[in-house]
Amino acid sequence: MERYSLLGLVRHARHYHENWQRVWRDPAPKKAYDTVIVGGGGHGLATAYYLAKVHGVTDVAVVEKGWLGGGNTGRNTTIIRSNYLRDGSSHLYEFSLKLWEGLSQELNFNVMFSPRGVLYLGHTLHDMREIERRVNANRLNGIDAELLSAAEVQKLVPLMNCSPDARYPVLGASLQRRGGIARHDAVAWGFARAADAQGVDILQRTEVTGIRCDNGAVTGVETSRGFIGARKVACVAAGNSGVLAAMAGLKLPIESRPLQALVSEPLKPCLDVVVQSSGVHCYVSQADKGDLVIGAGTDSYNGYGQRGSFSVIEHTLQAVCELFPAFSRVRMNRHWGGIVDICPDACPIIGETPVRGLYFNCGWGTGGFKATPGSGYVFADTLAHERPHPLAAPFSLDRFATGALVDEHGAAGVAH
Amino acid sequence: MFRIHCPHCREARSEEEFSYAGEAHIPRPVDPSSLSDSEWGEYLHTRTNPRGPHREMWVHTAGCRRYFNVLRDTVSYKILAVYPVGEMPPEQGEA
Amino acid sequence: MGAEVRRRAAGGRIDRDQTLDFVFDGRALRGFAGDTLASALLANGVDVVGRSFKYGRPRGIVGHGAEEPNAIVEVGAGASCVPNLRATQVELYNGLEARSIRASLFQRAAGAFGRLLPAGFYYKTFMSSPGAWMAWERVLRHAAGFGKAPDGADPDTYDRMNHHCDVLVVGAGPAGLSAALEAAGWGARVLLADEQSEFGGSLLAETRALGGDSAAAWLDGALAELDASGNVELLPRSTVSGYYDHNFLTLVERRSDHLGPVAAAGTRERLHRVRAEQVVLATGAIERPLVFANNDLPGVMLASSVSTYVNRYAVAPGKSLLLFTTNDHGYRTALDWHRIGREVVAIVDARESPAGGWVAAAKEAGIDVIVGHAIIEAVGRSRVSGAAIASLQANALAGTPRRLACDLIACSGGWNPTLHLGSQTGVKPRWSDSAGAFLPGDLGGGTVCAGAVAGTPTLRGCLEQGALAGATAASRAGFGSGRTTRSAPEVDEPPETPARSLFLVPHPKRVSRAPKQFVDFQLDVTASDIELAAREGYESVEHVKRYTALGFGTDQGKLGNVNGVAILAEALGKDIAEVGTTMYRPSYTPATFGAIAGRDVGGFFDPERHTPMHEWHTSRGAEWENVGRWKRPRYYPRSGETMQQALNRECLAARDGVAIMDASTLGKIDIQGADSAESLDRIYTTGFRKLGIGRCRYGLMLHEDGTIFDDGVTARLGEDRYLMHTTTGNAEVVFAWLERWRQTEWPELSVYFTSVTDHWATAALVGPKSRTVLAKVCTDIDLTGGAFPFMAVREGHVAGVPARVFRISFSGELSFEVNVPAQHGRAVWDALIDAGAEFDITPYGTEAMHVLRAEKGFIIVGQDTDGSMTPADTGMDWAVRRNKPFGFLGDRSLDLADHLREDRPQLVGLATDDARTVLPEGGQLVDDPECRPPVPIAGHVTSSYYSARLSRPIALGMVKGGAGRMGETVHCPLADGRVVKASIVDPIFYDPKGERQRV
C-alpha cells in the first residue's frame, strides 16, 4: 500500500497526479474464502481489516451489493461519543472511541476525526438527574464526562437560546470533550484500502441472494456473481439484517426504520461543538465544509425507502429554531433517510446464531457510526476465536430469551 | 407522508393523524406460562420485518382512535390494503 | 452611483419608471423594478460576484435562475441577514444590501498552489499525529462555508397552509400554463406554482410569436383566464421543494423578500403543504454548460441565460459574443445578440454540418458560423478577453488552435431536464440516448411529466404536451375525458439538426495537465478531479460525488452533474446509462428552516397545560417544574427563603399541620362495563375483582417484558365502574396501552375506557389537620376513620360542589384527595385555603411531594425505576398477584432467567454516615472506597433529599443485590473528589408501620 503523506502529495503533484495507485483492487470472486463478510459498510470493512491485521485471517471477502459505504455509513450524522449509561455499552463505545483517536494514523487515511466535544442538554429536572447519573457512571468507567451549568453551555455555544423563559429551558448539560465527529465516507474508504492491502478481496456490485447451509452449518453464500463458499459467514448489513436472516431461516428481534437527517447550506464557522438534546429532539453539529448537519428522528413505521415523512423534518426544524433562533433564516439544502435496524433495547446484536458458522453484527439502531472501529474489532475477534469477545458478550442474541436486555433507551434518548 | 384510508371514518386522511402500532397478527400466547423462555422471547421481540408487503397495525389517534390493519409495501410505501383487526388481509393484487 | 453601462435603452420586462438603489459589496448601484440582483449587477458591469470555494478564483454570473452556482450572496445584516442566496433569484428592492463571498487566505494560497490540492487531498495528509488534523481543521473550516449565519433571533415569522387539490401543476412555463388551463377547463381544482415572481418561464424571454401574437400577449391572456377561473389558485414566488410519498408536496412561498430584508407585515415565508390527487411536473430544463479549459472565467455564461438577460431584463452582459453550441437552439442567442446590434464574433458549432432553420437564419444575418470546432480554452484574467478554438473531429482535436477575441462566451451543450422532484420520490432517472439526457423514470399513475422536463425540445411541443398532461391529470382525478379541448397556439418551429453530445472538450494537453476544466463551479470540481477519482478506484458515481464533492453544493449539481457522469463514464469505459446518476433529495432549492418550522416555535413550540388552579399558584409566586406538558408548582418560596427553607417549611406543614397540593395533573381514566374488573386484572399486577365498591387499590403496570411502566391507585366506583389514576407523565401512554389491548387482543371484553384527566381538578389535602379542615367545607361525607377508612372513596359535596373524595396518600399522612369538576376547581381550592387559614394551611409543590414520599420509601416510576426494573427489583412483590386466571401483562417475563438473578439492582434506602451530606441524585455507588476508575459500579442514587422531619438526609437507590446487603457500606464519589460513605438501609425512613395515614 502506497503511504499517503504531504510529501507524497507534492511528489504526485509533479506528475499531475497521474500515478496514484488504486485505493483497492476490483478482483473477481474466488470460489471460496475462509470468511465471507456480507456488507461493505464501515462495520463490515472494519471487521475485514481487523481480521486480517490482528488475527492474520486474510482469506476474506467483503461482499457488497452496491458501493462501499453506501448504507448508513454514508448517511449518518457522524457523531462519535462513548458516554453511554450501562456498563456493557459504555465499555464497548469507549473501546471504539480509543480506536477513533488513532484511526487516521492506523489506516494512513485521514478520517478527519474531530474531537470537538459533544454536549447533551438537559431541559427538565428529570433530564438533569439522568445526566448526572450518566456523567458519574461514565467517570467511574474511566470515560471523560463533565457536568455543565446552563451558563457554561451558553459560553460554549453563544448562538443557543439558554434563556430560562424558553418552553423547555436549558438547565445544564453533560460534555464529553473527547467526543466529536468524523468524515463518514473516509471511514469506509480508509478501512477498505487498508483491508485490501492486507489481501482482503472487496467485491462491490455483488449481491447476496441466499445463504447456503448444510446440517446446521453455513457453507457459503449465493450471490449475483455465483456461489461463494465460506467456512464462516458474517452478516454486517444494517438495513438488510432481517432479509439476510430470513435467507438462513432465522428471524431477528429487529425492525428496520428510516432515520432522517438533513444538512443546511454551508456557513462560516458558527457552532464548534456537537449539540444533542433528546428533550427537544435536536442533534446538530457543523461539518468542516460548513453545513449544519442535523439528525432528525426515526419514522415510527418500518420502511426500507431511504426517505421519510416530512413531518419528522418539520418537528426537527422546530426544535432547531427553538434552540437556535438565529438558524431560522438558514436554509435546508438536503434531507434524506438511512435505514436503521432497531433492537428492543436500543443495543446491538453481535455474535453467533443458531446456524454454525453464521454470525451477525447488527441492530446498532441510530448510533452505529461511532462504534465502527470498535464493532469491527470485537466482531473480528469473535469470528477468529469463534466465541464472543468479552466486550461483545453482553450483546448476544440469546439475551432476548433470558431477559438480560441492556436497555439504553432511558438515558440516551435517540442514541445519535 | 402517507395518506391512509381509515376504515372506521371511511375517509383518507394524512399520516399525522395516525400512529403506527407495530406488526399485526402477533397474537398474545394463550398460556404464556407453558412457553419456554425462548418461545416467550420470540413473542416479545421477534418480528418479520420484511422488505415488501408488511401487515401492520395503525390507530387513528387524532380521529376515531380506533385500530385497524394495513398491508403496506415497506419499499414503495404503497398501501395495498386496509382491513379490520381480527381479519386476514384480502388476497393481494386486489388493492 | 454606478452607471448602468450594459443596460439597453429599451425593451425587457423591467419597469423603467421605478429605479431602485442598492448596495453590493459597499458599492452603491441602481437598477429597476423587475430586476433580479443578478440582472442589475450585470447591467452595472459587475463582472466578479464571488470567489470560488476551493481555489478562490474570480467568478461571474453564469445562469439566470435556480442553477446559478457562482453568484452566492449574503443579503441583509445582523439578525435579519440571509446567507447563501443566489443573486439570480433575489428580486431587487430599494435599499437592498448584498455582499459576495470573500476568499480566505487559504483559498488565495490554494489558487496559487492548486496542483497540491487534487480532489480528496485532505484524505491523504494532515495526519502526522492525532492533533495535526485539529490544527488544520481550523484553517479549512474558516476557508469553507459560504455566508455567515445570522447573529440573533429571527425577527420574522412564518406560517403554513394545507391544500388538497385535484391537480398541482409545478412550473408555470408554456407546458405548465397549458396544463393548468386544460385541467381547470375540465373543472378540476388546480394549484399552479412557480418559483419566479412572474409566471411564464421561458416565455418571459421568448421572441417568437404564439398564435400570431407576441409571447407576452399570449401569456397575459393565459394568466387572465386562469385568474378569472374560480377553481385555480396561482402561487408565484413558490418553489416546490419536496415531493413525498402519496403525492404530498411542499411549496415554500416567499412573501416579503422582494420588498425588504424583514417582512413589514405578515409572514416572511409560507410553507404550503399540498396533497394532490395528481401532479403535473412541468419543471422545464436547464441548459447544460460546456466543459473546456478555464470555462469558469467571468464572461462565460449559459446561452439561454444571455438571451434571458437580453430579452427579459434588457441587459447585454458584454460587447462581443462568441457562441459555443452543440445544437441548433443555441443559435437563437447569437440571433438575439445580433438583433440588439451587438457584435457576434462567431458561432462555434461542434457539429460538422448543421443545417437547421436557426442556422440558416444566423448565416443569413451574416454571422460567421465555424462548424466542426470547439472552444478549447477561455482566455482572460478576471473576465473573458478571448477564446482558443480548434477543429474537433470525433473526439480529438485537429489542426492548430486559433484565438478569437471576445468578452462574452455563451455556451449551449444541450438541455438537462429538471427532473429533481421526480427523483426525490425514489424513482431513478433513466438515460435516454435519443434525448441525450437523463429523463424522469416511471413515476406512476399520480404524476404526469410535460414539456422540457420530459425531454420535449420545442416550444410548440411543450404547449401541446402541457395541454395533454393537464387533460390527463384532470381525467385521472375524475374530471373530463382525458382529451384536450383547446388547440395549442401556432409557433414557428424551424427544422433542427440533431445535437451533438459533448461533455468534455478535449484540450491539446491531457485532462490532468490542461488548465482547469470545471464541471461543478460551486465546489471547484474539475474534469481532472473526476478522472483522478476513477483512476484511484472511486468508480461508483456515488463515490465520485463524495470523493470530489461533485453535486454536493447548494445547487445540487444542476449544471454539473450530467457532464460529470458522462466524464466518469468515459473514464471507466462505460455507458452513461450504466454509470447512472445520484439521487436528488429535497429541497429542490434550499428551503428556510423557519418556513418549515412554521409557527411552532417560541411560545407555540409545545403547548403548555395548566390546571384550573394555575393562576392561584402564579399569584403565590410558585417556582415551576415542567412535567410532561404540564406546568406544576415545584415549591412556593416566601420572600427571603432559599429553596431548602421553603421545602422544609412545606414538608413540616404536611407532617404536623395541614398542607395542600394541586394534584390535578394526575392521569384519570374512567373504566366502565361488565368486564372492567377483568381488564384491570389483566393490566395490573394486582387483583381488582374482589375490591369492594368505594375502595381503592394500588397497582403496578408492566410491559410484556416484565418491567414497570406505570403505577397508581384505582378506585371501584360501582359494580362495573372503576377510576384509574396514572402518573402525570404517562397518562396518554397508559390510555393508549389500554385501548390497544382492548381493541386488538380482547375484543370480547365489554369495557370502555375514557380519559377524564381534564374533567377533574384535584386538591390533595394532607396532614394531621386535614380532616378538620375538610370537615369545614364538606358536611355530607362522614370523614371519621371508621366511616371513611384509608384507601376508600366517597362522594358528596365540598364547598357546595359535587365531589369525589379519595382517602389515599402519597405522603404517608392522613390525606384526602378532593376531586371536583374542573370548572369548579379554583373555587373549591379557594374554599379549602380559606378553611385551612386558621391552621396556616401551606401549599406545597412537587419537590416537597418527592421528599414526603421518599421518607415513606414510595417510588416514583421513571425516577426510581428506569425502564429495566421489575416489581421484585423495587421490593414490591407484595403488589403482584401471580395466581389470577388470566395472569397479567408481563407476568411470564417475571420468570425469565435474568429476572431471577439475585444480584439484580434492587431498591434500598441510603443513609449517609455523616448524617449531613445530601447525596447527589444520579450519584454512583461503589464498593471500593478508593474508587479509582475504571471501577465496578454497585448501584446509583435515584432520589435524595434533606428530610426536615428526620433532620437528616435520606436517599433511595438501586444497589446490586441490595435487598440482601442491609447495613453494609457503599461509597459515593462526588464531582469535587470527595467520597461519601453511606449505609444501605430499609427504604422506609418514616412511620414504617404506616400508622399515620390510617388515623
Helix axes A184-197, A372-385, angle to 10 degrees: 30
Q: Under a CB-based contact definition with an 8 Å cutoff, are residues A37 and A47 in contact?
A: yes
Chain A residue with minimum CA distance to B49: A255
The grid coordinates of residue C366 equal 451574416
Give pLDDT tens digits for C278-330: 999 999 999 999 999 999 999 999 999 999 999 999 999 999 999 999 999 99
* CA gap C869, A403 in Å, rounded: 11
CA nearest neighbour of A85 among A116, A114, A120, A113:
A120
Lowest mean pLDDT among A244-248, C209-213, C582-586: C582-586
Give pLDDT tens digits for C941-956: 999 999 999 999 999 9
Residue B94 belongs to a domain = no
The full DSSP string for A125-140 is HHHHHHHHHHHHHHHH
Residue B92 belongs to a domain = no
Give pLDDT tens digits for C703-728: 999 999 999 999 999 999 999 999 99
Q: Do A404 and C898 touch (CB under 8 A)?
A: yes
* Distant-in-sequence, close-in-space partners of A125: CB < 8 Å, separation ≥ 6: A171, C625, C634
Structural domain span for residue B10: 3-83
Interface of C with B (CB under 8 A): 244-248, 275, 426, 704-705, 736, 739-740, 743-745, 747, 887, 891-893, 895-897
Locate the DSSP E strands across C334-420: 343-349, 369-371, 373-380, 384-393, 396-405, 408-412, 415-417
Q: How many CB contacts within 8 angstroms connect chain A with chain C?
A: 335
Q: Do C154 and A326 touch (CB under 8 A)?
A: yes
As for how many domains chain B has, the answer is 1
Q: Under a CB-based contact definition with an 8 Å cutoff, are residues C513 and C526 in contact?
A: no
- Min Cα distance C956 → chain B (Å) is 31
Q: What domains, with CATH codes, occur in chain C?
A: 1-153 (3.10.20.440), 157-285+417-476 (3.50.50.60), 504-599 (1.10.10.1100), 643-664+759-852 (3.30.1360.120), 667-755 (3.30.70.1400), 901-998 (2.40.30.110)
Q: Under a CB-based contact definition with an 8 Å cutoff, are residues C98 and C87 in contact?
A: yes
Q: Count Cβ atoms below 10 Å from residue C743 Cβ, excluding itself.
A: 18
Q: How confident is the model at residue B93 (pLDDT cuts 50, 70, 90)?
A: very low
Would you call C606 an interface residue with chain A, using a CB distance cutoff of 8 Å? yes
- Min Cα distance C541 → chain A (Å) is 9
Q: Do B46 and A400 touch (CB under 8 A)?
A: yes
Place of cell 444541450: C414
Mean pLDDT of chain C: 96
> What pLDDT, on a 0 to 100 scale, did the predictor assign at position C108?
80
| pLDDT exceeds cutoff 50 at C743 | yes
Would you call B77 an interface residue with chain A, using a CB distance cutoff of 8 Å? yes
* CA gap C893, C65 in Å, rounded: 63
Q: Quickly list H helices, C814-867.
A: 825-836, 846-855
- β-pairing, C158-170 vs C269-281, is parallel
Q: Under a CB-based contact definition with an 8 Å cutoff, are residues C254 and C269 in contact?
A: yes
Chain B contact probe: residue of A255, A301, A353, A398 with most B CBs at under 10 A: A301
Q: How many CB contacts within 8 angstroms connect chain A with chain B?
A: 75
> What pLDDT, on a 0 to 100 scale, did the predictor assign at position C115?
85
Q: How confident is the model at residue B92 (pLDDT cuts 50, 70, 90)?
A: low
Mean pLDDT of chain A: 95
Q: How confident is the model at residue C654 (pLDDT cuts 50, 70, 90)?
A: very high
Candidates B38, B48, B75; nearest CB to A304: B75
Q: Is C338 exposed, middle or buried (0-12, 13-18, 19+ CB in 10 A)?
A: middle
> What pLDDT, on a 0 to 100 scale, did the predictor assign at position A412?
39
HEC profile of C497-550: CCCCCCCCCCCCCCCCCCCCEEEECCCCEEHHHHHHHHHHCCCCHHHHHHHHCC
For residue C428, the Cα-to-chain-centroid distance in whole angstroms is 24
> What pLDDT, on a 0 to 100 scale, did the predictor assign at position C157?
97
> What pLDDT, on a 0 to 100 scale, did the predictor assign at position C394?
82
Single-letter residue type at A226: G
Residue B32 belongs to a domain = yes
| pLDDT exceeds cutoff 80 at C2 | no
- pTM of structure: 0.96
Q: How confident is the model at residue C46 (pLDDT cuts 50, 70, 90)?
A: very high
- Min Cα distance C585 → chain B (Å) is 15
| pLDDT exceeds cutoff 80 at A409 | no
> What pLDDT, on a 0 to 100 scale, did the predictor assign at position A416?
36
Place of cell 440573533: C152
Give pLDDT tens digits for C129-140: 888 999 999 999
Q: How confident is the model at residue C444 (pLDDT cuts 50, 70, 90)?
A: very high
Q: Express as a percent the part of chain C with pLDDT over 70.
A: 100
Q: How many helices (H) does chain B have, and how many strands (E)?
A: 1, 6
| pLDDT exceeds cutoff 80 at C246 | yes
Q: Do C137 and A132 touch (CB under 8 A)?
A: no
Chain A residue with minimum CA distance to B18: A300
Residue B95 belongs to a domain = no
- What CATH number has the domain bearing residue B55? 3.30.2270.10
Lowest mean pLDDT among A366-370, C343-347, C464-468, C657-661: A366-370
| pLDDT exceeds cutoff 70 at C907 | yes
- β-pairing, C842-843 vs B3-6, is unpaired
Residue B78 belongs to a domain = yes
The full DSSP string for C853-905 is HHHTT---TTTT--SS--TGGGT-GGG--TT-SS--TTTGGGGSGGGG-TTSE
Overall average pLDDT of the C610-629 stretch:
97
The grid coordinates of residue C726 equal 396514572
Cβ-based contacts of A313 with chain C (< 8 Å): 596
Q: Count Cβ atoms below 10 Å from residue C732 Cβ, excluding itself.
A: 15
* CA gap C582, C405 in Å, rounded: 38
Q: Do B20 and A309 touch (CB under 8 A)?
A: no
* CA gap A287, A271 in Å, rounded: 9
Cβ-based contacts of C887 with chain B (< 8 Å): 32-33
Distances (CA, A) of A169 to A119, A133, B27: 15, 20, 43
Q: Please give the order of strands across the beta sheet that includes C815-821.
A: C793-798, C801-806, C815-821, C760-766, C659-662, C842-843
* Distant-in-sequence, close-in-space partners of B42: CB < 8 Å, separation ≥ 6: A251, A400, A401
* CA gap C679, C748 in Å, rounded: 11
- Min Cα distance C878 → chain A (Å) is 22
Residue B93 belongs to a domain = no
| pLDDT exceeds cutoff 90 at C615 | yes
Give pLDDT tens digits for C343-359: 999 999 999 999 999 99
* CA gap A406, A344 in Å, rounded: 10
Chain C contact probe: residue of A78, A271, A333 with most C CBs at under 10 A: A333
Give pLDDT tens digits for C815-871: 999 999 999 999 999 999 999 999 999 999 999 999 999 999 999 999 999 889 999
Lowest mean pLDDT among A369-383, C300-314, C927-941: C927-941
Chain C residue with minimum CA distance to A90: C934
Q: Is C327 exposed, middle or buried (0-12, 13-18, 19+ CB in 10 A)?
A: buried
Torsion of CA C233, C236, C239, C243, to 10 degrees: 20
Cβ-based contacts of C608 with chain A (< 8 Å): 167
Lowest mean pLDDT among A151-155, A276-280, B10-14, C303-307: A276-280
β-bridge partners, A180: A80
Give pLDDT tens digits for B25-46: 999 999 999 999 999 999 999 9
> What pLDDT, on a 0 to 100 scale, did the predictor assign at position C159?
96
Give pLDDT tens digits for C490-525: 999 999 999 999 999 999 999 999 999 999 999 999
* CA gap C163, C181 in Å, rounded: 19
Q: How confident is the model at residue A415 (pLDDT cuts 50, 70, 90)?
A: very low
Would you call A243 an interface residue with chain B, using a CB distance cutoff of 8 Å? yes
In the 8-state DSSP scheme, what is residue C36? B
Overall average pLDDT of the A19-28 stretch:
96
Cβ-based contacts of B3 with chain C (< 8 Å): 246-248, 275
> What pLDDT, on a 0 to 100 scale, did the predictor assign at position C1?
47
- Min Cα distance A277 → chain C (Å) is 15
Q: Under a CB-based contact definition with an 8 Å cutoff, are residues C511 and C517 in contact?
A: yes
